[in-house]
């Protein structure tokens, strides 16, 4: 009988969630849903020196916004709790000690200055940063180089020590990656990684293997930057006697800078003016000040568009289709169509996805967000029906939700300034007089709707022998402040008779 699919996302609570991390969540989630499996969120907080307060809550909030809720997590619990590694600390030592007894790991008592001295001593032109491996192992203060009695005495005296894996000198470790196929490593090139730190906390290497085993994880999807660690993890599965239960691996391609040169980082986003985090993240700097890093959510992305864009960064379904709902992605996703090569991040393309999703969105579903965004700019909206009409009129013009401020703000607030310089070159007394007549015409209107207003305005222009095209642009600037926006008579219909007349009069005074 096939095992139930169980996948996991295991972030460290150290800061903002990079879009590469959210894509890892997404691929895990899609795979689990497609196979009727479980998606587990596990918090890898073993490195307490890097722990950042608030970062764990931020991860939950990001996944909630994206609609990628885990089946098991520290928040919701589950049959394999606890889901925070710091709360599982007592579990790991027994496995590390077992590896020592089996001769697959060893105690290392080296002080920081001894490690620095080793790096200086073994440095060469070919090897500028030597690692703690089989070549230097016998030269250091560890249970491979010391006698059994010396080792026992150091432990009895409470001398701080770590436990390191003993990497074989000359073996090949191979596994089948679901994306890359057969992958092989020579063990002589891999250092003896620390498995258990002096404070009793496991490192990622030991914890990820023990937790994946105890939580019955069947598939492990993670970024390709973890590929160099794969031989250590595979040997741990083997040495602990769990090889038959080892998950299938898939190392996802990197998300690259727009020019394709290297992994996309927060610094690239800052430099090029786009976000790389899912949501705003405020970091405390060493000098006590804070630094805000913008997120996709606050910039005005819809979660549907963000998820759709991420899915396509490194995957496609083999057709030309680009717009997918989450349900469609669950149906169509397949790990064997994930690319091996990195995917270049293109912010213009990301905005294109968002624009398409805003256009597709049901007006009612946008109301709450648009209301909040406008309120942030001191525009209070009382009439819900009016807001709905405005959204329907302008949503095709918005690539970001924040664009509603410019594209819809003038419906709810008289413009603060008008682009009269665009009117002046072709302005004359006849037009000034014509708009005086327009005011009289508007004051007499009882049927206040776009079609009737347009018809009456054009009839009046014809009667005064003025081309309608020459006075429509000034009318638009009077109502909107600039040369943009939807149909000018639709605008007048929504802002109402009184406000339309106030704006026309104001600009006539300025002219």
Residue 102 lies in a domain: yes
288 band by pLDDT with thresholds 50, 70 and 90: confident
266 is in an annotated binding site: yes
pLDDT of residue 382: 77
pLDDT of residue 271: 93
Separation of alpha carbons 301 and 307, rounded Å:
10
- Is the model's pLDDT at 1 over the cut of 80? no
Residue 240 lies in a domain: yes
**What are 231-247's pLDDT values in tens digits?**
999 999 999 999 999 99
266, 367, 458, 464: the active-site residue: 266
Residue 29 lies in a domain: no
pLDDT of residue 282: 94
Residue 445 lies in a domain: yes
| Helices first, then strands: H and E counts in the chain | 20, 13
Residue 415 lies in a domain: no
**Could you give the number of structural domains in the chain?**
2
Q: What is the domain-level CATH number for residue 448?
A: 1.10.10.350
- Is the model's pLDDT at 112 over the cut of 80? yes
Domain containing 485 equals 420-510
Residue 236 lies in a domain: yes
Cis peptide before 470, with omega less than 30 degrees from 0? Answer: no
Across the chain, which distance is largest between two alpha carbons, in Å?
Answer: 111
- Is the model's pLDDT at 278 over the cut of 90? yes
Tokens of 23: 């894509």
Q: Are 342 and 252 in contact (CB under 8 A)?
A: no
Average pLDDT, the chain: 95
Does 266 qualify as catalytic in the annotation? yes
pLDDT of residue 320: 96
Q: What is the domain-level CATH number for residue 183?
A: 3.90.800.10
Domain boundary among 199, 220, 252: 252
**What are 375-400's pLDDT values in tens digits?**
999 988 778 999 999 999 999 999 99
Separation of alpha carbons 503 and 81, rounded Å:
64
% pLDDT > 90, the chain: 93
Residue 335 lies in a domain: no
* Average of per-residue pLDDT across 417-427: 93
Q: Are 54 and 157 in contact (CB under 8 A)?
A: no
**What are 21-53's pLDDT values in tens digits?**
999 999 999 999 999 999 999 999 988 788 889
Q: Of 441, 459, 447, whose CA–CA distance to 493 is shortest? A: 447
Phi-psi region of 82 (alpha: psi -120 to 50; beta: other; left: phi over 0): beta
Domain boundary among 212, 235, 252: 252
Domain boundary among 213, 233, 252: 252
Separation of alpha carbons 5 and 47, rounded Å:
29
The DSSP secondary structure of 440-483, one letter per residue, reads: HHHHH-SS-SHHHHHHHHHHHHHHTT--HHHHHHHHHHHHHSSS
166 band by pLDDT with thresholds 50, 70 and 90: very high
Residue 262 lies in a domain: no
């Amino acid at each position: 009988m096939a095992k139930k699919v169980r996948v996991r996302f295991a972030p460290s609570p150290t800061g903002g969630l990079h879009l590469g991390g959210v894509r890892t969540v997404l691929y895990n989630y899609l795979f689990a849903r497609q196979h009727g499996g479980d998606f587990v969120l596990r918090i890898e907080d073993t490195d307490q020196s890097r722990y950042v307060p608030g970062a764990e809550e931020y991860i939950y909030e990001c996944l909630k916004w994206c609609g990628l809720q885990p089946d098991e997590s520290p928040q919701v619990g589950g049959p394999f709790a606890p889901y925070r590694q710091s709360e599982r600390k007592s579990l790991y030592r027994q496995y590390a000690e077992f590896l020592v007894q089996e001769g697959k790991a060893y105690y290392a008592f080296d002080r920081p200055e001894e490690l620095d001295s080793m790096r200086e001593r073994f440095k060469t032109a070919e090897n500028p940063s030597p690692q703690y491996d089989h070549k230097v192992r016998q030269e250091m203060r560890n249970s491979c180089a010391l006698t059994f009695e010396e080792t026992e005495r150091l432990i009895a005296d409470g001398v701080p020590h770590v436990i390191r894996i003993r990497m074989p000198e000359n073996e090949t470790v191979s596994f089948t990656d679901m994306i890359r196929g057969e992958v092989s490593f020579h063990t002589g090139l891999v250092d003896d990684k620390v498995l258990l730190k002096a404070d009793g906390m496991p490192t990622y290497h030991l914890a990820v293997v023990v937790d994946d085993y105890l939580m019955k994880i069947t598939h492990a999807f993670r970024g390709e930057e973890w590929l160099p660690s794969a031989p250590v993890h595979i040997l741990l599965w083997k040495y602990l006697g769990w090889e038959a239960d080892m998950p299938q691996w898939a190392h996802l391609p990197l998300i690259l800078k727009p020019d394709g040169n290297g992994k996309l980082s927060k610094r690239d986003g800052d430099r090029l003016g786009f976000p790389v985090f899912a949501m705003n993240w405020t970091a405390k700097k060493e000098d006590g000040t804070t630094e805000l890093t913008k997120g996709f959510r606050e910039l005005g992305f819809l979660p549907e568009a963000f998820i759709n864009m991420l899915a396509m960064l490194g995957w496609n379904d083999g057709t030309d289709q680009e717009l997918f709902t989450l349900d469609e992605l669950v149906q169509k996703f397949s790990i064997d169509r994930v690319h091996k090569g990195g995917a270049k991040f293109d912010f213009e393309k990301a905005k294109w996805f968002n624009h398409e999703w805003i256009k597709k969105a049901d007006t009612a579903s946008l109301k709450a967000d648009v209301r909040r965004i406008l309120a942030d700019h001191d525009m209070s909206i009382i009439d819900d029906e009016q807001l709905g009409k405005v959204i329907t009129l302008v949503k095709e013009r918005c690539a970001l939700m924040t664009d509603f401020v410019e594209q819809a703000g003038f419906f709810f607030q008289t413009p603060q300034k008008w682009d009269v310089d665009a009117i002046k070159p072709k302005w004359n007394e006849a037009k000034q007089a014509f708009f005086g007549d327009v005011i009289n015409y508007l004051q007499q209107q009882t049927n206040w709707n776009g079609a009737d207003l347009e018809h009456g305005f054009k009839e009046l222009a014809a009667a005064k022998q003025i081309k309608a095209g020459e006075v429509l642009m000034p009318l638009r600037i009077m109502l909107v402040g600039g040369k943009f926006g939807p149909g000018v008579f639709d605008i007048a219909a929504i802002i109402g008779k009184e406000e339309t007349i106030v704006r026309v009069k104001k600009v006539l005074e300025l002219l």
